[in-house]
Amino acid sequence: LEMMSEHPLAEAVAEYLKSDLHPYKGDTPILESFKSHTGTGVEATCEGTHYWAGNEEMVREAEAILDDKMKDAVKRETDEGDSLIYYGRGKELIAVISVSDRIKETTMEALRLLKERGIEIHMLTGDNPASARVMAAKLEIENYRASVKPADKEEYVKNLKQKGKVVAMVGDGINDTQALAVADVSIAMGKGTDIAMDVAMVTLITSDLKLLNTAFDISKKTVRLIRQNLFWAFVYNIVAIPIAAGMLYPSYGFMLDPVVAAAAMA
């Protein structure tokens, strides 16, 4: 199931199950009727049996029930800030997979540099509120929203723009594409999904957020060069066009040779 999903957490689970840490070495089962539900999870049929994997909403849709032992485990993992993937067969909950986000060494430095530029940082995540709260605290992010779906992310960006803010959206998955499409600047992570990179104006080659600051530096230098070029082009034209038109000829008998004009323009 997770090998067929494009979600980053799904990729992490699939890589783990294919590693030496896991004893299963058999052939991958053949799945039928695979469906991916954006912001919720995935489902498929294998040998006539329905299987699913996703978040709490997937559990509710499957009408699966968590026993007391599972509820305690879920609460414990959630309080630690882990993301949870529920895995089931029909109406039966088989397992809960706990995935912890590792904050990259460069992330805190990247966020600090962004804040020094006067940039407000907002975090939008599909994770549950408890996990989002823990992660936001670790990253020192005051503005965050949890359990958001793709449409919610889009609406959040629109609301920021209505308040007069210029919004840059950074995303890596299918769930981010709607928000990326409406942001003033859209930035995709190089290790994200193809659709996110197709929608985004900028793609960072790696998932290192410090590249954001590099992108801002390049952008500012580019805009400065454009303004310098426009300034000198206007100054040149304001001076040269009247001369070329013969403004100095009545008084000084001087006309600008076209060859000289072309060289001066260059």
Question: Which of the residue ranges 39-53, 193-207, 238-252 has the most confident prediction, judged by mean pLDDT?
Answer: 39-53
Return the pLDDT at 46. 92
* The pair of three-digit structure tokens given for residue 250, joined into one six-digit string: 């009545």
Residue 188: count of CB within 10 angstroms of its CB: 26
- Output the pTM of the full model: 0.70
Average pLDDT taken over every residue of the chain: 88
**pLDDT, average across residues 212-231:** 94
Least confident of 14-23, 86-95, 212-221: 14-23
| 15: pLDDT strictly greater than 80 | yes
pLDDT tier for residue 86 given thresholds of 50, 70 and 90: very high
Return the pLDDT at 109. 93
* The pair of three-digit structure tokens given for residue 262, joined into one six-digit string: 């072309």
pLDDT, tens only, 48-68? 999 999 988 899 999 998 888
| 21: pLDDT strictly greater than 80 | no
